[in-house]
Structure 1
Amino acid sequence: MKRVHAIIVLMLIAGCAAAQGYDKNYRRLSSGDLTVDKNFYLLTVIDKTPDVKAVLAGNVALKSFLQAKVGILKAHVTDTCSYPASLMPDFFWKNDTASLARELNSVYAANKRAFDKMIDAHLRPSGYYQRFAGMANGVLLGKAWNQCFYGMDYIINQYGLGKRMRYPHIDSVSYVVTSRMYRTTLKDMMSSLAEVSEGFDVFYKPSLAVAMQLMQANDRDEPARLEPLEEGINKAAFDQIKKTDWKKYRYAAIVLPGAGPTLTTTPVSPNGKIHCDMAARRYLAGDAPFIIPSGGYCYPFQGPYNEAVEMKKYLMEKYNIPASAIIVEPQARHTTTNIRNAVRLMVRYGMPVTGPSLFVTSMSQTKYSAADSFDARNIRELGYTPYTRKKQLTNHVIEFYPVMECLHMDPLDPLDP
């Protein structure tokens, strides 16, 4: 009997933890910069929460961090530092994370009510920290801070120092960072930011500004392109979702991954067309009411084509599939995030996610995605698999069930967090 009671208690605890995550009625806050919001939602929320922001801005230790980084920013305007290796490292957090963690823990403990209110009202229901939903507020907040610090360091490494990060073939810096042009750009960036540094009121603002300026210099606004999707390219499908009789379909959606072209003269690659053909067959057979083509601006490097947008055009032109049946997911850059991002849209658009959906593609990609090694890659890169109960049905089709962890933001992929 005691064991039964213990299990019931554990179930109740688990249920409470799950209930503290994503809320479909939550309305996300906006800083005015969607790239910032998607990468660093904690910071957007703090900026919109006056009492928490005031606590952080007034803390003596944190203020010293701010003053030090602003001082470095101003010093770089006139000093002789001209190479990335001498300009960028001072804006990293990696050397300060231990002392910052202690101070931020102390700040949280002393102002628990204000922080808890913010966490419960925004961080949890937003879904951006869904993998932490079962954790206590203080732990969740600490992990959210770590993601912010790591994310800024990642961007500075990639676009400031030119380091080859996770996906260098499509995500790397656009210029030679040691070239005269880029060194001049970095120096001018210091001057430009120094001019507005009086507006940096919280300790993380200088490093955040440097990171965002680096992304801007490299035309890396992918997280914000085509947004808001449901008011633009996805409006017809978004409206149709509300009218759909889901009982008529075995599957909620057909997820269609991209295969980026290698030529700037080719909107859809040869394999991309095969992917579309396979998905169209399944849609026309009545398997699901929606196709979700997924893929961003990936190939060729800094190329003009968005995989998902071009696949939508192909499906409409070749198969007469209506726009109201195609949900564009235009940001995924890899097979792992094709599924993750498609699930994100399904959840946020109010589509059923307790039942199965289909992943439909070419034979070669189906073989790759059905293997255990693909699960291992997801866990290695995302920390989880964006699906459960994966089952290969044919040479072109995999059945899967979505998981809510897909909503979680990823600081290791700043172009598609």
Structure 2
Amino acid sequence: MRILVTTLLFWLFIFQTKAQQNSADQSYQLIIGKSQLYNPYIQYKSYYLLTLIQELPDLRKAIAEDQVFQKLLKDKSNNAATALKTCAQNISCYADAMKFSEAEILLVNERLSTLYKEENVFGEVAKNHLLPSGCYGLFQDLPGQQLLIKAWEQDAKALNYAIEVYIEGKKPNYPKIDSIAFSSKDKEFPTFISSNVSLNTGPDKKLFFEPSMNFALGALKLNNRLEAADYEPMNTGVNQSAIAKIKKTNFKNYKYSVILVPGAGPEDRDTELSAGGMIRCRIAAIQYHKGVAPFIVVSGGRVHPYKTKYSEAYEMKKFLVSTLHIPENSIIMEPHARHTTTNLRNCIRLMFRYGMPMEKLGLISTIKSTIPYISGILSDRCKKELGYYPYKIGQTLSDTEVEFYPNSMSLQIDFDEPLDP
């Protein structure tokens, strides 16, 4: 019996050790690119592996000097040149030239598989960046070689998706708030696209993915869909004082790490903060003054109405500080979420990146009508749309409060949400 128990404990230890090795690391510092062409915060949030290839010297050299990747770059550049000569007003023609085809994605898969060794630069990037970053958490239990391939496939799908939505006009997941800014009847749009191809191809591009990635980033810029970079860098800006307080906070003195307030956007362009947003802030402020948590997280981006200039998180923070007299260093802004699934996911991301204890419960404070939804079917919606459960729901404490357990899987990049990946 003792031998059986010892054996079970041994295998439990091995399982836990493996899980810890494969999970994201709170001490890992994300690498943000130095791109001068397009916003580096948008780039690294959507295409983290591609950003690493640009920024890590040894990895960049290995990719740039490889003959297979050199040929692929030449082929993509030739496709772009042909498109400029022949596509004229045909928008899909330009898009097809710049997207990665299934055959091209497979070609990169095969080359990465051949080049990968645990002890070389490709193995190092999987072990020291892809795993600890959490950006590819859905693949964290795969061998390093497969993790690298899946990361590339995810980034390729992400840039293809951005081109499909913001060049070709494909409907995004939330058409009312995230659609293309141009009409299919706009006679100038093909000219803009042609210029976008010209600007992002040429001899200065040294990496096989740069023409396509920059074309996708250019598409977002053309549409003025730069929401993913709102208020960045937040750690030295809107959240700087809160981060300083986090470092000094003894979380053992509180039942919850944060009070999350999901945003509620107005439906007209002239209203800064909706009545629903004000009520949610007041509910959260009551809990804050009770001392249940040291921080309030206000979550919501520039969402409603279409292309609004007002950020839900910013307006809620302003209301909490100026009207409800909550100290600014007790408020964490999360200004990127575009729906309830990412209110929770993005809150958990900031908790992780800012060094909060991930084993501690969080509290959601909101209006009565949304609590049954959050404590009920929302988790299944998260699974369907994100591919995982970013949280586990805890107890429903009242008509306006429910607990949640954070899950670091929330760091996983969402390839088909370029405004909030």
Out of 101, 107, 121, the residue aligned to residue 99 of structure 1 is 107
Give the match for residue 156 of structure 1.
163
Question: What is the CA-CA distance between 1:366 and the residue it aligns to?
Answer: 1.1
**Distance in structure 2 (CA, Å) of the matches to 1:403 and 1:277:** 27
Give the match for residue 143 of structure 2.
136
Out of 196, 217, 220, the residue aligned to residue 215 of structure 1 is 220
For structure 1, which runs of at least 5 residues remain unmatched after alignment? none
- Note if 1:394 corresponds to 2:378: no
Contact 1:295 1:329 in 2 (8 A): yes
Q: Rate the CA distance shift 1:2–1:103 in 2: closer, same or farther, 3 A.
A: farther
Residues 37-91 of structure 1: per-residue CA shift (max 9 Å, x gap):
1111111111122332233223333322211110121223333432212211122
Question: What is the CA-CA distance between 1:151 and the residue it aligns to?
Answer: 0.2
Contact 2:375 2:393 in 1 (8 A): no
Letter in 1 for 2:339: H
Letter in 2 for 1:55: A
Contact 2:115 2:122 in 1 (8 A): no
Give the match for residue 51 of structure 1.
58
Out of 369, 378, 381, the residue aligned to residue 377 of structure 1 is 381
Contact 1:24 1:348 in 2 (8 A): yes
Contact 2:83 2:97 in 1 (8 A): no
Q: 292-301 or 163-172: which moved more? A: 163-172
Question: What is the CA-CA distance between 1:334 and the residue it aligns to?
Answer: 0.9
Q: Secondary structure at the match of 1:268?
A: coil
- Note if 1:116 corresponds to 2:123: yes
Letter in 1 for 2:247: K
Contact 1:177 1:183 in 2 (8 A): no
TM-score in terms of structure 1 length = 0.94
Question: What is the CA-CA distance between 1:7 and the residue it aligns to?
Answer: 6.3
Q: Rate the CA distance shift 1:383–1:158 in 2: closer, same or farther, 3 A.
A: same
**Distance in structure 2 (CA, Å) of the matches to 1:391 and 1:184:** 56
1:158-173 equivalences under 5 Å are 158-173=165-180
Q: 334-343 or 22-31: which moved more? A: 22-31
Q: Rate the CA distance shift 1:77–1:117 in 2: closer, same or farther, 3 A.
A: same
- Note if 1:310 corresponds to 2:315: yes
Give the match for residue 301 of structure 1.
306
TM-score in terms of structure 2 length = 0.93
Stretches of 4+ moved more than 3 A in 1? 1-4
Letter in 2 for 1:26: Y
Contact 2:84 2:197 in 1 (8 A): yes
Residues 229-275 of structure 1: per-residue CA shift (max 9 Å, x gap):
12111122111112223232111110000011111111111211221
Give the match for residue 37 of structure 2.
none
Q: 361-370 or 253-262: which moved more? A: 361-370
**Distance in structure 2 (CA, Å) of the matches to 1:407 and 1:143:** 16
Give the match for residue 27 of structure 2.
25
TM-align CA RMSD: 1.9
Aligned residues: 413
Letter in 2 for 1:78: K
Q: Rate the CA distance shift 1:329–1:70 in 2: closer, same or farther, 3 A.
A: same
- Note if 1:9 corresponds to 2:11: yes
Contact 2:53 2:63 in 1 (8 A): no
**Distance in structure 1 (CA, Å) of the matches to 2:275 and 2:50:** 42
Letter in 1 for 2:398: T
**Distance in structure 2 (CA, Å) of the matches to 1:374 and 1:67:** 46
Contact 2:299 2:343 in 1 (8 A): yes
Contact 2:76 2:211 in 1 (8 A): yes
Q: 181-190 or 73-82: which moved more? A: 73-82
- Percent sequence identity over matched residues? 34
Contact 2:77 2:211 in 1 (8 A): yes
Contact 1:160 1:177 in 2 (8 A): no
**Distance in structure 2 (CA, Å) of the matches to 1:80 and 1:44:** 30
**Distance in structure 2 (CA, Å) of the matches to 1:41 and 1:361:** 33
Question: What is the CA-CA distance between 1:226 and the residue it aligns to?
Answer: 0.7
Q: Rate the CA distance shift 1:148–1:178 in 2: closer, same or farther, 3 A.
A: farther
Question: What is the CA-CA distance between 1:3 and the residue it aligns to?
Answer: 8.4
1:207-356 equivalences under 5 Å are 207-356=212-361
Contact 2:88 2:190 in 1 (8 A): no
Question: What is the CA-CA distance between 1:177 and the residue it aligns to?
Answer: 3.9
Residues 255-313 of structure 1: per-residue CA shift (max 9 Å, x gap):
00001111111111121122112111111222111100000111111111000000011
Question: What is the CA-CA distance between 1:112 and the residue it aligns to?
Answer: 5.5
**Distance in structure 2 (CA, Å) of the matches to 1:52 and 1:234:** 33
**Distance in structure 1 (CA, Å) of the matches to 2:141 and 2:57:** 26
Q: Rate the CA distance shift 1:80–1:409 in 2: closer, same or farther, 3 A.
A: closer
Letter in 1 for 2:106: A
Out of 66, 81, 85, the residue aligned to residue 78 of structure 1 is 85
Question: What is the CA-CA distance between 1:389 and the residue it aligns to?
Answer: 4.1
**Distance in structure 1 (CA, Å) of the matches to 2:166 and 2:300:** 22
- Note if 1:205 corresponds to 2:216: no
Contact 1:84 1:178 in 2 (8 A): no
Give the match for residue 64 of structure 1.
71
Out of 406, 410, 416, the residue aligned to residue 410 of structure 2 is 406
Question: What is the CA-CA distance between 1:228 and the residue it aligns to?
Answer: 1.3
